[in-house]
Amino acid sequence: MLVTIDSKNPEAPRPAWLRAPAPAGQNYHELKDLIGRLRLHTVCESAACPNVGECWNHRTATFMILGNVCTRRCGFCAVEKGAPLPVDYDEPARVADAVAAMGLRFAVITSVNRDDREDGGAELFALTIRAIRRRVPGCGVEVLIPDFQGSRAAVEIVMEAAPDVLNHNTETVPRLYRQVRLGARYERSLEVLAWAKQIRPGTPTKSGLMLGLGEHTEEVLEVMRGLRAQGVAILTLGQYLRPSPRHLPIARYVPPEEFAELRRAGYEMGFAHVESGPLVRSSYHASKPRP
C-alpha cells in the first residue's frame, strides 16, 4: 500500500522502513576526526545522508571535492548554495591521504556544481583520481560528476584519468526538472552518460533517481529505459527525504514493495546491478562487485 503525505502536515512521522540508526560507534567518530583534521568535505555530512552512521562505521565515505558551496540551487539538495570557494589544489593529495588512512580498496569522489569554472571542476576530479592511484595502488575509484554544463571536453578530462565507475545522476523524471534540478536538463544528463561510454567503452556508467517527488511509475520506467539506451549498467533508486522546510516537499513515501518491483524491472531491462530501496543513495554499497 502506498503511503501518501497529508498536504496540511507534510512533516508527518516517517514510516518504519525509513528510520535509520543515529550515527555512533568508534569507527564513525574516528572517521569524523580524520575528515576534520584533513580539512575535507563529505557528501555524507553536507547532504545530510541518512546512511552516514552505517557507512562510516564500515569505514566508507563519499568525498566531496571543490568545496562545500554549490553554484546551483536544486530544490532537493541540502548542500550549501552561494558564491563558490577558491579551488584548493592540495585537496586531491589530502583525499588520497584519507583513503590511505582508512585502508580503502574503493573510494567514491563527488563534488558540488562549479558553474563558475570553464571545465566545471573536471580538472580536480582527474587530479584526485590520479592522487589516489599513486597513494593507494589498486584502489578502485568511482566518480559522481555534475553535468559540467554539457561540456564534452570536461567529460573527456575525467575519463582520461580512468575512473573505475563513472556516475552521473538524472535525479528525477523530465517533467519535474524545473522544480527539482534548476539549471540542469534531462537530455544533457543523458549526453554526459553517452559521452562517457563513447570515450571509454569499457568503463561502467551509473545513474540514479530519487522517488517521492510526484513522479509516476511509468515515468520512472521510461527514464530507466533511456538510461539503458545510453549503456548505463548500474542503477540506484531511493526515497527523497526533505532536508528542511525550505526544500521541496515530499509527495509520498514509496514502500519497499514498489522499490522491489522497480529492481526487478531494472534487471529485466538489462542493468547489471540495481540498488533499489527507501534508504538507497547514489553511493550506497558502491564498493560491491561491479560489472
* CATH at 186: 3.20.20.70
Rounded to whole angstroms, the Cα distance separating 78 from 247 reads: 8
Query: What's the mean pLDDT in 171-186?
Result: 91
Of all residues in the chain, what percent carry a pLDDT higher than 90? 56
Query: What's the mean pLDDT in 20-49?
Result: 60
Rounded to whole angstroms, the Cα distance separating 13 from 53 reads: 20
Strands 80-81 and 273-276: unpaired
Rounded to whole angstroms, the Cα distance separating 139 from 96 reads: 10
Does residue 5 lie in a domain region? no
pLDDT of 1: 35
pLDDT tens column, 185-242: 999 999 999 999 999 999 999 999 999 999 999 999 999 999 999 999 999 999 998 8
Structural domain count of the chain: 1
pTM (two decimals): 0.85
Does residue 10 lie in a domain region? no
Count Cβ neighbours within 10 Å for each residue of 173-185 and write b for 16 or more, e otherwise: bbebbeebbeebe
pLDDT of 122: 98
Q: Which of 129, 189, 181 shows the shortest CA–CA distance to 159?
A: 129
Does residue 291 lie in a domain region? no
Mean pLDDT of the chain: 84
> 194 is in which domain, residue-wise?
22-276
Cα 124 to Cα 60, 64, 114, 132, 145, distances in angstroms? 21, 11, 11, 12, 11
Rounded to whole angstroms, the Cα distance separating 108 from 50 reads: 17
Q: Which of 36, 74, 32 shows the shortest CA–CA distance to 53?
A: 32
More confident position, 290 or 252: 252
Does residue 160 lie in a domain region? yes
Q: Do 255 and 3 meet the contact criterion of CB atoms below 8 Å apart?
A: yes
More confident position, 174 or 286: 174
pLDDT tens column, 88-147: 999 999 999 988 988 888 888 999 888 899 999 999 999 999 999 999 999 999 999 999
Rounded to whole angstroms, the Cα distance separating 223 from 243 reads: 25
